[in-house]
Amino acid sequence: MNKPLTKELMMDTALLTKRLRQETSSEVMTDSASRGRYATDASIYQAMPVAVFVPKTAQDIASAIQIAAELKVPVLPRGGGTSQCGQTTGAALVIDNTKYFRNILDLNVDKGYVEVEPGIVLDHLNSSLKQHGLWYPVDVSTAAQATIGGMAGNNSCGSRSIAYGNMVHNVLGIDAWLANGQVAQFGSYANSSGAAKQLGDFVKDLAHTLQPEIEAHFPKVLRRVAGYNLDIFHPQSELPYTRDGSVNLAHLLVGSEGTLAYFKSLKLQLAPLPKHKVLGIVNFASFYKAMDSAQHIVKLGPTAVELVDRTMIDLARSNPSFKKTIETSLIDPAAQTPEAILLVEFSGEAHAPLLEKLKALQELMGDLGLPGSVVAMPDAGLQKNLWEVRKAGLNIMMSLKGDGKPVSFIEDCAVPLESLAEYTQALTDVFSKYGSRGTWYAHASVGTLHVRPILDMRRDGAQKMRAIAEEASALVRKYKGAYSGEHGDGLCRGEWISWQFGPKITEALAQIKQAFDPKGLFNPGKIVDPPKMDDASNFRFPPSYKVISLQPALDWSAWNVQNNPVTEETTSPGTGGDPAQGLAKAVEMCNNNGHCRKFDAEVMCPSYRVTRDEKHLTRGRANTLRLALSNQLDLQDKTSPLGSDAIKDVMELCVSCKACRRECPTGVDMAKIKIEFLSAYKKRVGHSLRDLAVAYLPKYAATISSIPLLPSLLNLRNHIAPIAKLQEWVMGISAERSLPIWKSKTFWRQKNTSSHQYSPAQLASQDGKGVVLLADTFNAYFEDENLQAAIKVLETAGYQVHIPQKSKDKTKTNAYTQNTCSKEFCCGRTYLAAGMVDQAKATLGELVSHLAPYAELNIPIIGLEPSCLFTLKDEALVMGLGEQAISVSKHAQLLEEFLAKEAKAGKLTLNLKAATKGVLFHGHCHQKSFAAVTPALELLKLIPNAEPKLIESSCCGMAGSFGYEAEHIEVSKQMAEASLLPSIRKSADNWVVADGTSCRNQIADGTNREAVHIAKILAAHLE
């Protein structure tokens, strides 16, 4: 339905753009890449917007609505873009509320309400409310990125709706722009006036006329969000809209999906933050038994009862981020995985009564024939971690490689609890009938279980989707449930509104739409006159979807697979049929859920945290790449879509932090993809002088350090401003930055260097006390004191240390020995940063070849610089270096990882004196990505009185050469100022420990404080 509209509206795009730019102060985007980033949400659909508008003020929104109305252009409000049904896709002027329109307007703690702008994110709101002992309790799993406006538009629910109700039960009022530009106040009907009262009267008359139809067709379950809330005058839900039975006109707008009005502000009912919570996790050997038990468990008065099935448990156990946490929920992690677990939460003002509730749960399960099936979890920290795994449920499922994906279209059905077991069994049989299966999870407390059959939408998925939907709807009707229970209607359930309510109510919904929006310009095609759910022209991956042929620089064959929708087993690498050899399928792993929009204590996504621009998200980059790789962008130069300016635009602020590699639940690895982009882009435009200076540092560093007086001469740049300015003009290296200090006496020119040469056999004979220590370029030539400190610590602890050195290498028997890209052994990191994959491979291959014999004898390979060390564990595995690279990767580890492991095994002998001041630790992004921060903190705890504290921060902003580049310095500083530098300034008397050389330089520049490598602080505290 939206496709013809696109062609009609494109004629007005130029005038629309001109007027928006002239009459507002906001951001307007009309290029295909920008529009493409807003063409999708977390659904299977895609529709190219007419333009994208990012408003800075409320007046700008009002002006945009007026301009669009005059030009007959539809308007689509957008929050986090996390809708699973296509609500935020459409050929319209898409208005992004999240960048600027996200403020708290009023907070009344005594009366327990808050008024907010629609673009505010739920987690950000609750973070502000926490100090007052309050929260907004509609706790959706996407709370880190979901906006209040979007939640109200969908009538979101959350895990604790059994205790707090849905969004509609917690909205007190909405001020909204109507289609004519007028602002109307929707609140208490009894006190309404003006346009709101007129519209309320109209709906009231409809409701009274249709009361018998409403009573006959509206589901009585709590979870019913389809259509408009026509029943506000005759409530049908088991939980009334208001506590006192009054009518609130704001509830007409909740769940309207942006089709009736544009939210200006929302007044929300707050709840006291529970002081205590306990969790009981019930393990079931039978899925049916779990479903049947839910109706009994809810009688104990829990605040949540959430399901996680066996498939999701297994997927979580296979993910390093979730494995330990999910296993805390199991009676016996070593035994067979349960078919399902139910997370049963109780909360209240006192802890003791909640423990009694846990006992009651255990007794109940015994009465139901399942004694000893409950894991009691009173610890708040363990509970929080487990809830995070549950919240990641959809993303965990979407991590399945191959074209078949779990598809949202019947994931929202709600049935009465007494029918839940029969319904799930019957639907499982339906999936089996069509050669698929579903993973079940979510809200057992209210009969809404999210289940998504695995379908391949590029092939026969649409036909199966229709067939399964038909049979699922029959089951929903049989059990007197609701077809749309939480995620809204959008494009995938809009056509089922008439099925649910019948023709008379469907016509009434159209009349409501006409009364609110006579021209039909607010998000057309949703709720009223929707398209068919399986209209392939609306799919993100229609049958016509084709990827360009491409030979990537790295090996992406692990992604180039297909899957079995029943067993979820994947074919062998390289068999997936991707013309881009797996690169396209790696990019397509992004399901658009927007987890990268979060602002929590982790890293992803540093650039977005500064700019709040969609293009600086992992999601925004992935969407742009997908469109480029499938020829959907209007590119001037089509010879290299991957190396195009459109991709450069989104990759410009990617700092290759690798956070998405770990924190993106579907594993979109933008740092590796950036290497692919750089390789393609630099082949197209060539390398700059700065690129060459950075890339070839391992080659010329030795030469500079060996020429008398040259290091001192080069160091003058840090003290004479005109030289720094000249360098900025010539090379683009910011004059505001101090550069690393060149030295004449480098590590390689120390007298004791040559004494650390041992063969693999010699180290293997040391009874586990032989190690390899890598002398990376940065520590060898600029901060050799870190290497000296590491040697001192290791030798004091009784280890024999081998340091790889080219001139001393006795194993020159491979193809890489002729490499001239580095004077000494090097990981090739600097070459990768410039897109020089061939040079990186030659350099890295040489190092891997030297290390392989040591790895084969299980000798630990230790590194000091995280970015270098983790190149051995990451990029080395996709550069065609074979089994040797795999062997080396398994033994490569940071100094702290090795020492912490030895300490835990009781093998570390280090006498450390007490610290005289505390320790702050900043984790390098790659440390965080590879879970190497915890070992560092454990090691620092061995220093008496150190009491190490982790600085909760994202990327430091330096990111190798990124923070030195003139065009990036302001963004670099903003990244550092987000939390890292302020935390250090507040703790003037502490040690600051940071393993990354670029991190230490950022800290020095930003605070005038010295940050030290962990090796130095250990050496300083040796007895």
Q: What is the CATH number of the domain that holds 56?
A: 3.30.43.10
Supply the pLDDT for residue 637: 78
Q: Are residues 728 and 823 in the same domain?
A: no
Q: Are residues 294 and 416 in the same domain?
A: yes
pLDDT digits (tens, 9 = 90+) for 721-760: 999 999 999 999 999 999 999 999 999 998 877 789 999 9
Q: How many CA atoms lie within 13 A of 403 on its CB side?
A: 19
Three-state secondary structure call for residue 755: helix
Beta bridge partners of residue 27, listed in sequence order: 54
Residues 509-530 have a mean pLDDT of 98
CB 942 within 8 A of CB 912: yes
Q: Is the pLDDT of residue 135 over 70?
A: yes
Beta bridge partners of residue 377, listed in sequence order: 279
CB 54 within 8 A of CB 94: no
Percent of the chain with pLDDT over 90: 89
What CATH number is associated with residue 952? 3.40.50
Residues 785-813 have a mean pLDDT of 89
811 pLDDT band, cuts 50/70/90, is low
Within 8 A by CB and 6+ apart from 299, the residues are none
Q: Is the pLDDT of residue 504 over 80?
A: yes
Q: Are residues 877 and 959 in the same domain?
A: no
Q: Which of 99, 128, 159 is the last residue of a domain?
A: 99
Supply the pLDDT for residue 1012: 98
Q: Are residues 839 and 890 in the same domain?
A: yes
Q: Is the pLDDT of residue 485 over 90?
A: no
Residue type, 660: C
Q: Which of 900, 929, 950 is the last residue of a domain?
A: 900
Supply the pLDDT for residue 195: 98
Number of domains in the chain: 6
Secondary structure in 3-state letters for 699-726: HHHHHHHHCCCHHHHHHHHHCCHHHHHH
Three-state secondary structure call for residue 246: coil
Within 8 A by CB and 6+ apart from 433, the residues are 471
Pairing of strands 448-455, 438-443: antiparallel
Q: Are residues 886 and 786 in the same domain?
A: yes
**927 assigned to some structural domain:** yes
What CATH number is associated with residue 413? 3.30.70.2190
**385 assigned to some structural domain:** yes
Residue type, 786: N
Mean pLDDT of the chain: 94
Q: Quote the tokens at residue 934.
A: 């915890």
Q: Quote the tokens at residue 923.
A: 């984790």
Residues 843-858 have a mean pLDDT of 97
Which phi and psi (to 5°) does residue 373 adopt?
-100, 0
Report how far Cα 134 is from the mean position of its chain's Cα atoms.
26
Q: Are residues 340 and 445 in the same domain?
A: yes
Residues 316-341 have a mean pLDDT of 91
How far apart are alpha carbons 705 and 700 in whole angstroms? 9
Cα dihedral 576, 577, 579, 581 in deg (nearest 10): 30
Q: Are residues 700 and 843 in the same domain?
A: yes
**225 assigned to some structural domain:** no
pLDDT digits (tens, 9 = 90+) for 677-699: 999 999 999 999 999 999 999 99
Supply the pLDDT for residue 52: 98
Q: Are residues 619 and 721 in the same domain?
A: no
**143 assigned to some structural domain:** no
Q: Are residues 327 and 361 in the same domain?
A: yes
Which region among 14-23, 186-195, 359-368, 481-490 has the lowest average model confidence (pLDDT)?
481-490
**Angle of helix 194-209 relative to helix 503-516, nearest 10 degrees?**
170
Supply the pLDDT for residue 888: 98
Q: Is the pLDDT of residue 810 over 90?
A: no
Handedness of CA 635, 878, 661, 322 (dihedral sign): positive
CB 480 within 8 A of CB 220: yes
How far apart are alpha carbons 443 and 164 in whole angstroms? 13
> For residue 193, what are the CA distances in angstroms to 204, 206, 267?
14, 19, 18
**427 assigned to some structural domain:** yes
Q: Are residues 737 and 748 in the same domain?
A: no
Three-state secondary structure call for residue 848: helix
Q: How many helices (H) and strands (E) does the chain have?
A: 44, 25
How far apart are alpha carbons 205 and 203 in whole angstroms? 5
Q: Which of 851, 872, 900 is the last residue of a domain?
A: 900
CB 105 within 8 A of CB 265: yes
Percent of the chain with pLDDT over 70: 98
pLDDT digits (tens, 9 = 90+) for 973-989: 999 999 999 999 999 89
pLDDT digits (tens, 9 = 90+) for 102-127: 999 999 999 999 999 999 999 999 99
Residues 39-64 have a mean pLDDT of 97
Q: Is the pLDDT of residue 2 over 50?
A: no
Q: Are residues 327 and 444 in the same domain?
A: yes
CB 101 within 8 A of CB 58: yes
Q: How many CB atoms lie within 10 A of CB 741?
A: 13
Q: Is the pLDDT of residue 7 over 60?
A: no
**516 assigned to some structural domain:** no
Within 8 A by CB and 6+ apart from 430, the residues are 468, 471, 472, 475
How far apart are alpha carbons 23 and 39 in whole angstroms? 25
How far apart are alpha carbons 445 and 818 in whole angstroms? 66
Identify the domain containing residue 361 by its residue range: 276-456
How far apart are alpha carbons 543 and 621 in whole angstroms? 24
Q: Return the DSSP state at 893.
A: E
Q: Are residues 703 and 717 in the same domain?
A: no
Question: 63, 31, 64, 27: which is closest to 49 by C-alpha?
Answer: 31
pLDDT digits (tens, 9 = 90+) for 530-564: 999 999 999 999 989 999 999 999 999 999 999 99
- Overall residue count recorded for the chain in this entry: 1023
Supply the pLDDT for residue 363: 97
Question: 62, 67, 65, 55: which is closest to 25 by C-alpha?
Answer: 55
818 pLDDT band, cuts 50/70/90, is low
How far apart are alpha carbons 420 and 891 in whole angstroms? 49
Alpha helix stretches (DSSP H) within 593-668: 606-611, 618-629, 645-651, 659-663
**62 assigned to some structural domain:** yes
How far apart are alpha carbons 437 and 452 in whole angstroms? 8
Q: Is the pLDDT of residue 5 over 50?
A: no
How far apart are alpha carbons 294 and 309 in whole angstroms? 14
**136 assigned to some structural domain:** no
